[in-house]
C-alpha cells in the first residue's frame, strides 16, 4: 500500500449515480489535490455480479471501475462495502429480508444465519473481481443490534458464561474475522472501521494483524483511539469527516477543525494515512458544492497550506460562501449538532413535512426569517444552478413552515378557504423542489429518491387539503387539531390518534 494513504471516500449508497464520467472527473480533481486514493462506499449500490443486471441502472459497474483504473493508475479506487451492519439496502430487498437481525427494522443482518456470511462472501468476490485495489474495506461499523435476535441473544449469553467474556465482542469477531481472512486469501489487504473494535476491546486481539483499521472520530481528536489500535498491533488510518450530514449545507469550520486534528495526530503517532469521509449526499446534500472543500482538505493532507475559503473564491463562489457560512448561526434549526440535520429529516425523510412546522418553531419566528433572507441573498449571488439550489432548498423549507403556520392559524379561525390557499403554496414548494432534485441528479450527483420524496410530500399535502375539506368543518362531531389532520396516519373518528398513544404502536 502506498503510504501515507491520502484518501477521501464518497458515500454512493444514498441513491447517488456516480456515473463513469463523474468518476473520471473526481479522479482527475483528486489527483490534482494530492489524493492517492478514492473510496467508493457502496453498500448495495453497485452492479454486483450476483444480482440481476439492469440495463437502465445508473449504478457503477465493473467495466466503469476498470476504465477509471486504466485512466488513473495513480489513484487507488477502493471498494468500501458492508457485510453485517449497514446492509439495509439488501435487507429491504425481496428474498433477503429473512437475513435481518430484526424483522423490518434497523440496518443489521443476523450474524448467526449462515446466509449472512454467504451474502458477504458474494459481495467480497464481486468487488474483488471488479476492483484491482490492494485494499478491500469490509465495513463492520455501527452493529448496534448485536445479540438482539433470539439465536444471537442465546449465543451472547452462552459466551458470557466464560470468565470476563464480552459476548458481543466474540459474536462480532466470530463473524468478521473469517471475512477479513477471506479477503487476505484473495491476495488483498482487508480494512475495517474501528468503532466496534473500540467499543468491544476484547475483539482487538483476534483481528488478523495485516488488517487496516479506519478510525473515524468526527467530533474529537483520534489520538486516544488510534493509539489504542496501534498498541493492539493494528495498522491504522485516521478518518475525519466533512460535516454535511448534520447540516443543511455543511459546517465548514467544524470540518476544518476535525481534519486539522486528524492531520496532526496522523503525523504525531505515524498512522498509515488519512481518509476524509463524506456522508449522505442524499436529502438535498448537493455533493457538487462540497468538492472545493474536499480539494482543499486534500491539499492540506498533502502538507500544503491551503485555506478552504480560497477554493470557493477561486471558482467565484466567495460571496455565496460568506453568506452560507452565516446560516448555522441564524437559526437554531441550522446549528451544528452531532446528528443528522433535523430540517432534512422532518422536511424530506419522514414522509410528513408538517413535522418541520410542528417541531422546528424557530423557523416560523424571526430566526427563520433572518435565515431565509440570507439564503435568498446567497441564491441570487451566484448563477451556478447547483449552488443556487443549495441555498434555495432550505429557503423553501422555511417558506413551507411559514405557509403551513399561516394555514394552521386560518384553520384555527375556521377560515378554511384561506387555509386551503396557504396549503396550495405548500404544495407548490414541493413542485419547485422536485425540479431542483432533477437538476442535482443530472449534475455531479444527486438522489433520485429525493425526487420521489418530493412527489410523495406533494400528494400528502393534497391529502391534507382533502382532509380539511372533508373534516375541517366539524362534520365528525369534533374538529381534529391541525397537526392531527395533517398527519399521514390521521383516521376519521379516531379522535385520540390512538396510534400515537403508545410508542410501541407506532412501528
Ligand atoms: Zn441474530
Residue ranges covered by each domain of the chain: 5-84+115-315, 322-505
Q: What is the mean pLDDT of residues 301-329?
A: 97
What is the average per-residue pLDDT within 467-496? 97
Average pLDDT over residues 69-90: 97
What class has domain 5-84+115-315? alpha beta
Q: How large is the C-alpha radius of gyration of the chain?
A: 24
Between 501 and 474, the more confident residue is: 474
20 pLDDT more than 80: no
C-alpha cell at 375: 439564503
What's the 168 CA to ligand 1 centre distance in angstroms? 11
Question: How far is ligand 1, taken at its centre, from the CA of residue 153, in Å?
Answer: 7
Going from the Cα of 145 to the center of ligand 1, the distance in angstroms, rounded, reads 9
pLDDT at 459: 98
pLDDT value of residue 444: 65
Distance 239 CA to ligand 1 centre (A): 29
pLDDT of residue 1: 64
Ligand 1 center from residue 122 Cα (angstroms): 20
Instruction: State in Å: Cα 287 to ligand 1 middle.
Output: 36
The bridge status of strand 189-193 relative to strand 212-216 is: parallel
Task: Pick the range with the lowest mean pLDDT from 212-216, 243-247, 387-391, 500-504.
Answer: 500-504
Mean pLDDT of 483-494: 97
Instruction: Locate the DSSP E strands across 100-234.
Output: 100-102, 105-109, 135-137, 189-193, 212-216
End-to-end Cα distance, the chain = 46
In terms of Cα–Cα distance, which of 392, 387, 330, 391 is closest to 363?
Answer: 330
At residue 109, the pLDDT reads: 98
Residues 6+ apart with CB under 8 A from 67: 20, 24
Ligand 1 center from residue 116 Cα (angstroms): 10
CA of 147 to the centre of ligand 1 (A): 6
Tell me what pLDDT residue 2 has: 64
Distance from residue 150's CA to the centre of ligand 1 (Å): 7
For position 443, what pLDDT does the model report? 67
User: Residue 441 — pLDDT band, cuts 50, 70, 90?
Assistant: confident
CA of 325 to the centre of ligand 1 (A): 45
Q: Is the pLDDT of residue 328 over 70?
A: yes
How far apart are the CA of 81 and the centre of ligand 1, in A?
Answer: 20
Quote the longest CA-to-CA distance of the chain: 73
User: What would the mean pLDDT of 152-179 be, rounded to a whole number?
Assistant: 97
Spatial CB neighbours of 342, under 8 Å, sequence gap ≥ 6: 333, 356, 359, 360
C-alpha 489 to ligand 1 mean position (Å)? 32
Give me the chain's average pLDDT, please.
Answer: 95
> In this structure, how many other beta carbons lie within 10 angstroms of the beta carbon of residue 338?
8
Question: How far does residue 50's CA lie from ligand 1's centre (Å)?
Answer: 24
Secondary structure of residue 376 in the 3-state scheme = helix
Q: Which tens digits make up the pLDDT trace of 26-68?
A: 999 999 999 999 999 999 999 999 999 877 777 899 999 999 9
Rounded mean pLDDT, 143-167: 97
Instruction: Choose among 127, 69, 82, 126: nearest CA to 108.
Output: 82
Report the distance separating Cα 436 and Cα 114, nearest Å.
44
Residues near ligand 1 ion, CB 5 Å cutoff: 101, 110, 112, 149, 152
**100 CA to middle of ligand 1, Å?**
8
Mean pLDDT computed over 311-332: 98
Cα(406)–Cα(480) distance, integer angstroms? 17
Strand 100-102 relative to strand 76-80, pairing: unpaired
What per-residue confidence (pLDDT) applies to 476?
A: 98
Q: Model confidence over 256-266: pLDDT tens digits?
A: 999 999 999 99
Statement: residue 415 has pLDDT above 80: yes
Give the number of C-alpha atoms closer than 13 A to the C-alpha of residue 170, restricted to the C-beta side.
Answer: 16
Cα of 155 from ligand 1 centre, angstroms:
9
Q: Does the structure show a pLDDT above 90 at 338?
A: yes
Q: What is the pLDDT of residue 19?
A: 78
Query: What is the rounded average pLDDT of the residues 292-312?
Result: 96
Indicate the pLDDT class of residue 363, thresholds 50, 70 and 90: very high
Amino acid at each position: 500500500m502506498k503510504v501515507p494513504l491520502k484518501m477521501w471516500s464518497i458515500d454512493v449508497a444514498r441513491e447517488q449515480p456516480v456515473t463513469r464520467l463523474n468518476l473520471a472527473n473526481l479522479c482527475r480533481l483528486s489527483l490534482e489535490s494530492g489524493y492517492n486514493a478514492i473510496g467508493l462506499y457502496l453498500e448495495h449500490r453497485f452492479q454486483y455480479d450476483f444480482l440481476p443486471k439492469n440495463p437502465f441502472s445508473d449504478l457503477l459497474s465493473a467495466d466503469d471501475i476498470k476504465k477509471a483504473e486504466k485512466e488513473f493508475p495513480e489513484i487507488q479506487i477502493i471498494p468500501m462495502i458492508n457485510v453485517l451492519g449497514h446492509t439495509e439496502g439488501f435487507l429491504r430487498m425481496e428474498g433477503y429480508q429473512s437475513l435481518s437481525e430484526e424483522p423490518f427494522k434497523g440496518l443489521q443482518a443476523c450474524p448467526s444465519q449462515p446466509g449472512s456470511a454467504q451474502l458477504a462472501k458474494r459481495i467480497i468476490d464481486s468487488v474483488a473481481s471488479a476492483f484491482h485495489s490492494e485494499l478491500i474495506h469490509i465495513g463492520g461499523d455501527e452493529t448496534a443490534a448485536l445479540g438482539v435476535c433470539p439465536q444471537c441473544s442465546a449465543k451472547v449469553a452462552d459466551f458470557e458464561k466464560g470468565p470476563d467474556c464480552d459476548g458481543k465482542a466474540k459474536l462480532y469477531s466470530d463473524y468478521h474475522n473469517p471475512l477479513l481472512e477471506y479477503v487476505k486469501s484473495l491476495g488483498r489487504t482487508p480494512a475495517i472501521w474501528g468503532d466496534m473494535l473500540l467499543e468491544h476491546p476484547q475483539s482487538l486481539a483476534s483481528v488478523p494483524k495485516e488488517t487496516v483499521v479506519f478510525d473515524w472520530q468526527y467530533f474529537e481528536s483520534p489520538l486516544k483511539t488510534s493509539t489504542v489500535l496501534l498498541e493492539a498491533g493494528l495498522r491504522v488510518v485516521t478518518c475525519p469527516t466533512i460535516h454535511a450530514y448534520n447540516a443543511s449545507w455543511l459546517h465548514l469550520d467544524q470540518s476544518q477543525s476535525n481534519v486539522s486534528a486528524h492531520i496532526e495526530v496522523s503525523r504525531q503517532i505515524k498512522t498509515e494515512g488519512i481518509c476524509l469521509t463524506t456522508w449522505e449526499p442524499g436529502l438535498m446534500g448537493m455533493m457538487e458544492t462540497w468538492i472545493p472543500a474536499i480539494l482543499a482538505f486534500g491539499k492540506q493532507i498533502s502538507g500544503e497550506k491551503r485555506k478552504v475559503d480560497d477554493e470557493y473564491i477561486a471558482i467565484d463562489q466567495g460571496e455565496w460562501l460568506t453568506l452560507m457560512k452565516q446560516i448555522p448561526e441564524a437559526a437554531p434549526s441550522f446549528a451544528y449538532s452531532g446528528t443528522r440535520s433535523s430540517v432534512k429529516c422532518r422536511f424530506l425523510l419522514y414522509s410528513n413535512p408538517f413535522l418541520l412546522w410542528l417541531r422546528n418553531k424557530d423557523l416560523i419566528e424571526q430566526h427563520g426569517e433572518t435565515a431565509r433572507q440570507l439564503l435568498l441573498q446567497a441564491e441570487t449571488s451566484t448563477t451556478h444552478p447547483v449552488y443556487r439550489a443549495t441555498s434555495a432548498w432550505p429557503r423553501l423549507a422555511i417558506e413551507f413552515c411559514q405557509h403551513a403556520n399561516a394555514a394552521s392559524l386560518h384553520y384555527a379561525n375556521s377560515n378554511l378557504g384561506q387555509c386551503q390557499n396557504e396549503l396550495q403554496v405548500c404544495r407548490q414548494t414541493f413542485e419547485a423542489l422536485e425540479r431542483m432534485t432533477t437538476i442535482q441528479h443530472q449534475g455531479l450527483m444527486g438522489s433520485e429518491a429525493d425526487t420521489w420524496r418530493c412527489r410523495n410530500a406533494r400528494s400528502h399535502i393534497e391529502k391534507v387539503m382533502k382532509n380539511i375539506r372533508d373534516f375541517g368543518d366539524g362534520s365528525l362531531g369534533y374538529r381534529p387539531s391541525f397537526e392531527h389532520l395533517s398527519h399521514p396516519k390521521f383516521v376519521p373518528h379516531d379522535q385520540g390518534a390512538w396510534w400515537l398513544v403508545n410508542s410501541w404502536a407506532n412501528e
